[in-house]
Chain A
């Protein structure tokens, strides 16, 4: 069992949890993820690590409520426990040797984009960051990004905060202004990563994306997380989660990501109803 030492509602549907997991905290690197189960008989879900504090022995995650499991997770309070917390899984993001990079984060994906941004920044790279959200109410981690980047663009789809537009608009503008990058790193919804990759391709800019497909064990045993990269089948949990965005078969990845949508929608509704009953 793993104790929740801090819970913070960043936004109505976005929550931060700091979990006591000293061994994982000691090893975790930017880009890696954990798998958790909220309770016994719970589903195993992968979530990327936002921050690891080896001195405190804690690992912090940020998640958005999208299904039954994240709904249950959101109802956990400080001092309560998670059933399982496994990690760090996947390969760490490659940070070394980049002189100038652009990190693009979308929505709750910014929780993962941030540690990568910070790692590039701490390694001495010039870092441009583009973070995008649906609207003002969903903006997270702006101050963190500002502190870890040389240029920051905050975008909202509806223009209610920052600049009006998509992250790809801002990225394109930065490139058109004459910025060249050793690497563009994108993390967020699948569609966003796809279009970031399409944006950078004509410029020949190396683009790395962090994939988060459906998975069970996270150690390579089930093969459920397989994606097609450059025509080859890869397991995101052991070969990734970072891949060359120009090589990923996005249509396939999007379809596989939606494999259990109907089940998830139903389970989410049922869970919400359960919590509503409890409140009464």
Chain B
């Protein structure tokens, strides 16, 4: 008999007033008992509606059935058949707009905690199974992957499991892409990313760090001189955007990318780090997406009073509801319907304030959201000494400019067909390099699609 509780088992978490002072993981994960109880809430619908919400098509009811039976390793095998990064997805996927959105239990009450169960299964596997997966026999085909973020790692994993000889090229010194430089430790511990990368290495995937493709090697060289039969571009979102307002280049104005990279990749939050970061006392984070929430929560943990400055209202915040909630609990102040006009600097060139203007919502714009309009004469100064711009990114032109015949759209994203194939034969792409800034799981879905297309193309040779 199913567990008919209308509520999900709540996620055990660090208390807000404790966690906003440390970088340890916020959510602590289900216990075995909680996982067994939550798994009982699944009704095992015949048509599996939850699966249509999953970009990598995890067989959700099947793995939950194994959890309910206490067969956690079997559950893990079901997830990892289609997902290269279970422990990551269980933490950072927006389940509320994917699998859980379609869960029948959500019609009356809360959906099954699919993400929480996925996380439990993956963590159980990582804690209890030390056996490395067997390396499949090589099929003799070589594939190059550019970028070791979620798109690249997924594509690499899917191909490696089929026996392809996969090499992943990463520009930074550590594999993981946005999972290591962008998403903070307290949402996604770096040891978990490392485990996932090690798992791929055990499958035979080679990871070459310090390789900026487009500079040290071109895509044409990979195809013509290095014997790769296909290339997948998963190079990520690219260059941070700014507002083009006065004072944006003052000391103490960061892009969210830089701020998060200093903290996450370069460990600037640790006292013995060799990478400096400004410890602002009053920080404004401009923007309302998940990256803005991450930057704000990091700044809070470094000891600042933090304001989120966003030009629309709370309803319009693009960040996940859960992230907004976490940020609010941790004491982040939301200055909504507020837009920066100018950043002010002192004579040393340091930030000493930000002039903002109040906004109101007008008619809906092209995106369907109500357009923010300035309220004349409502300017005021926010007393801050550090400003972080979290406004999104524009694609990096490096690969486009060094790859002949690679077509891009008006926004600079690489153009692909439904299989992830670009305008160049044997060159595929996916993730933020194609779509602009999006989510980890969408990038993984794109990596998966391309892996399938590459396999079909090369195995027919």
Interface residues of A (CB under 8 A from B): 23-24, 27, 37, 41-44, 68-69, 83-89, 216-224, 226-228, 233, 235, 238, 249, 251-252, 255-256, 258-260, 263-264, 267
Contacts and interface: CB of A to CB of B under 8 A. Distances in A.
Contacts of A42: 274
A180 to B, nearest CB: 34
A65 to B, nearest CB: 15
B249 A226 contact: yes
Contact of A84 (B181, B209, B244, B398): B209
Interface in B199-217: 209-212, 215-217
A20 to B, nearest CB: 13
B303 interface: no
B215 A27 contact: yes
Contact of B216 (A23, A224, A251): A23
Interface in B372-426: 396-398
Given A84-B173, A219-B398, A227 B274 contact: no
B228 interface: no
27 contacts: A27-B215, A37-B173, A44-B266, A69-B274, A86-B171, A87-B212, A216-B265, A216-B266, A217-B171, A218-B212, A220-B238, A220-B398, A221-B257, A222-B255, A222-B257, A224-B258, A226-B249, A227-B249, A228-B249, A233-B248, A233-B249, A238-B397, A251-B349, A252-B349, A259-B278, A264-B276, A267-B276
Interface string B338-367: 000000000011000000000000000000
A267 B274 CA distance: 8
**Which 9 pairs show the lowest CB-CB distances between chains A and B?**
A255-B349, A222-B258, A263-B276, A223-B255, A260-B276, A43-B274, A223-B240, A259-B251, A84-B173
Given A41-B273, A84-B210, A222 B240 contact: yes
A89 B212 contact: yes
Given A220-B238, A227-B249, 19 more contacts: A42-B274, A44-B275, A85-B210, A86-B211, A87-B212, A88-B216, A89-B215, A217-B172, A218-B212, A219-B212, A221-B257, A223-B255, A224-B254, A224-B255, A228-B249, A238-B397, A249-B249, A255-B349, A259-B278
A69 B275 CA distance: 10
A216 B249 contact: no
B261 to A, nearest CB: 5
B173 A83 contact: yes
Nearest to A267: B274
Interface centre among A37, A217, A258 (most CB of B within 10 A): A217
A252 B348 CA distance: 10
Interface in B13-56: none
Contact of A256 (B210, B255, B275, B349): B349
Given A23-B216, A24-B216, A223-B239, A216 B173 contact: no
Interface string B246-274: 00111110110110011001110000011
Q: How large is the interface on B (under 10, 10 to 19, 20 to 34, 35 or more residues)?
A: 35 or more
Interface string B215-231: 11100000000000000
Contacts of A86: 171, 173, 210-212, 216
B249 A252 contact: yes
Interface string B302-334: 000000000000000000000000000000000
A87 B276 CA distance: 23
Interface centre among A84, A221, A224 (most CB of B within 10 A): A221
B242 interface: yes
B334 to A, nearest CB: 25
B238 A256 contact: no
Given A88-B216, A228-B249, A238-B398, A219 B242 contact: no
Contacts of B217: 23
A122 to B, nearest CB: 23
Given A27-B216, A86-B212, A255 B257 contact: no
Contacts of B258: 216, 222-224
Contacts of A41: 267, 273-274
Contacts of A69: 274
A221 B396 contact: yes
Nearest to A32: B215
Interface centre among B181, B244, B251, B265 (most CB of A within 10 A): B251
A23 B216 CA distance: 6
Contacts of B276: 260, 263-264, 267
B248 A255 contact: no
A259 B238 CA distance: 24
Contacts of A260: 276
Interface centre among A216, A218, A233, A238 (most CB of B within 10 A): A216
B210 to A, nearest CB: 4
Nearest to A40: B173
Contacts of A37: 173
Nearest to A264: B276
Contacts of A249: 249
Given A41-B267, A227-B249, A220 B239 contact: yes
A223 B215 contact: no
Contact of B262 (A68, A83, A216): A216
Nearest to B254: A224
A217 B209 contact: no
A61 B181 CA distance: 28
A211 B396 CA distance: 21
